[in-house]
Amino acid sequence: MAKKQADKQAVLDWDKYVQNIQAETTIDSNMSYAEREKKRKELEADPIEWMYEMFPNYAKSKFAKWQITIILLIINNPEFYAVLSWARELAKSTTVMMIVMYLTLTGKKRNVLLVSNSYDNAERLLAPYKANFEGNKRIEFYYGKQKGLKWENGEFITKKGAAFRALGAGQSPRGTRVDDIRPDILLPDDFDTDEDCRNLDTINKKWEWWETALYFTRSWSQPLLTIWSGNIIAKDCCIVRAGNKARELSKIVHDETKGKVKKGLGIWDIKNIRMVNINKPDPKNDFLYGTSVWLEKNSEEQIDIVQSQVSASAVQKECYNNPISEGDTFKEITWGKVPPLNKFPFLINYSDPSPSNNTKAKANSNKACFLVGLYEGKLYVITGYLDRVTNAEFVDWFYFIDKYVVERNQVYNYIENNTLQNPFYEQVFIPLFAQARSKYNKIINITPDERRKPDKFARIEGNLEPLNRMGNLILNEAEKNNPHMQRLEEQFKMVTPRLSAPADGVDCIEGGYFIANQKLSTLVPDAISFGTKPTNNKRF
């Protein structure tokens, strides 16, 4: 009984889905046959306008220029291998659907296989195709009713003979030929899963299935269009392997008119939600400095809102094609109780400014300011700030930390000031600190850290990773609900040799640790590098 009720509900849901498409694609049907045919031919000659006309329910925002370039590139190349790694909200699956429906309705392609990580997912991804063939009033107006004799979920053939079939990875692709037409479009979509990517054997098996069982369902004598849709969710996954293959093919050319026209056979198009250079994806800089690549749909303000509600690692993975394996460098982060502040020989408040005076996520990197102390061989991160703020707000942080300590110990305040930062420090920060003295009626002395620093990752890995691995880098458990400290932990977990994600806070902690060690060795000549004191002429 329960199954029958579920089936009945599924039919009702499907009918409502189709009815919504019908309502959203209404058209003036008073054109004469001649007018309609003229209009149809005009639209087919301009695929972008064709998509706007046929799919007002999907194409509510105008395509960006880069999307138009890719659409036309794919449509105009019958034999092509495209990999679309477009970030969330860039409509890769929807765009591919419109491309494929254009090609099948105009008779350029006849047999489509949509492949996903499971059959159920493939059927779900194929459902919008079936629903639009069934209910889109504009398609019906220009091309007639499309519902054919074979019309099932996961497999259907239109009245004009275009076949569509869903397949899950690993399933047998036998029976994919329709009449004499072998598959001429392969659509791997959402092919990788997070779980699969944790097992190299699984990735190898799926890739072997793709290259042997599925790819060779094609005809050798007829052109095949392959379009992969998927984000880069792991360093090694099927979408990355397909992307690398597409790049290889982009360098292979074929002559269509005796050498006069040469075209690459593939493309790996990577688009992040924001980019500095639309043709050169750079996850870290795109996140820090990029602008919306599809402003017609995704405003800067809305991107800020969405990104602010999830972790930085999730944003990097889903929006910037930058999968970050937590624990690559810092396997785990220790939270613990901090000794009373008067137990420390001194405290260091180290800051790492960014020159921007803008709080927009796209416009600047984080500013950082953290209070650290060395005690009995351990580096304690006591409290601090890590955020995108104005320069004046950054200066306020020093006074907030001073109030936090409340003269329980001596605090040495430092600000990173390399040769590139020095003009900005002198022209901007010195006047701001002067204003803050009047505002808070207190002088806080700041020392610029002008040392020439080695490579950032080398410093972080060499100085902080061994300390953390031994459990001697401790974040204050009393500050665990502090969003600034949470951001710091998150940045630690995203540190990789390429530093492809922001590491401003981690860099700040390294600076404070270096200064603390240096000062400790000056104040206590016999102290070892991480803060212990000699006892009975022995070093801990």
Within 317-366, strands assigned E span 334-336, 347-352
Flag whether pLDDT at 535 surpasses 50.
no
Query: Which of these, 66, 103, 72, lies nearest to 86 by C-alpha position?
Result: 66
Say if residues 24 and 56 touch (Cβ distance below 8 Å).
Answer: yes
Q: Where are the domains of the chain?
A: 2-271, 334-523
User: Across the strands, what pairs with 275?
Assistant: 291
The better pLDDT of the pair 256, 516 is held by 516
Say if residues 513 and 462 touch (Cβ distance below 8 Å).
Answer: no
Flag whether pLDDT at 215 surpasses 90.
yes
Instruction: For residues 143-147, give the mean pLDDT.
Output: 94
Query: Which of these, 270, 204, 211, 229, lies nearest to 93 by C-alpha position?
Result: 229
In angstroms, the first-to-last Cα distance of the chain is: 73
Q: Is CATH 3.40.50.2000 the classification given to domain 334-523?
A: no
Say if residues 131 and 24 touch (Cβ distance below 8 Å).
Answer: no
- The residues near 64 (Cβ < 8 Å, ≥ 6 apart) are 293, 294, 295, 296
Q: Which of 173-182, 186-195, 265-274, 501-510 has the lowest mean pLDDT?
A: 173-182
CA distances from 288 to 186, 224, 234, 316, 383 (A): 36, 39, 22, 11, 24
Q: Name the 3-class secondary structure at 363.
A: coil
pLDDT at 365: 67
The whole-model pTM stands at 0.72
Query: Which of these, 170, 39, 24, 183, lies nearest to 100 by C-alpha position?
Result: 183
CATH of domain 2-271: 3.40.50.300
Flag whether pLDDT at 419 surpasses 80.
no
pLDDT in tens, 362-386: 444 689 999 999 999 899 999 999 9
pLDDT in tens, 494-504: 887 777 778 89
| Percentage of the chain lying above the pLDDT 90 cut | 63
174 pLDDT tier (thresholds 50, 70, 90): confident
DSSP state of 237: S
313 pLDDT tier (thresholds 50, 70, 90): confident
Flag whether pLDDT at 219 surpasses 60.
yes
The better pLDDT of the pair 297, 528 is held by 297
Instruction: For residues 186-208, give the mean pLDDT.
Output: 92
Say if residues 415 and 401 touch (Cβ distance below 8 Å).
Answer: no
pLDDT at 5: 58
Instruction: For residues 59-86, give the mean pLDDT.
Output: 95
- Average pLDDT taken over every residue of the chain: 87
Say if residues 297 and 95 touch (Cβ distance below 8 Å).
Answer: no
355 pLDDT tier (thresholds 50, 70, 90): low
- The residues near 405 (Cβ < 8 Å, ≥ 6 apart) are 341, 347, 371, 411
Flag whether pLDDT at 458 surpasses 90.
no
pLDDT at 361: 43
Q: Which of 145-149, 231-235, 380-384, 536-540 has the lowest mean pLDDT?
A: 536-540
pLDDT in tens, 227-249: 999 999 888 999 999 999 999 99
Instruction: For residues 500-523, give the mean pLDDT.
Output: 88
Flag whether pLDDT at 198 surpasses 60.
yes
Tokens of residue 48, six digits: 């972008």
Instruction: Name the H helices within 209-331.
Output: 238-250, 283-289, 300-308, 312-319
Q: In angstroms, rounded to a whole number, what is the distance separating the alpha carbons of residues 74 and 504?
A: 41
Instruction: For residues 343-351, give the mean pLDDT.
Output: 96
Tokens of residue 377, six digits: 């061989």
User: Across the strands, what pairs with 383?
Assistant: 371
pLDDT at 257: 53
Flag whether pLDDT at 348 surpasses 60.
yes
359 pLDDT tier (thresholds 50, 70, 90): low
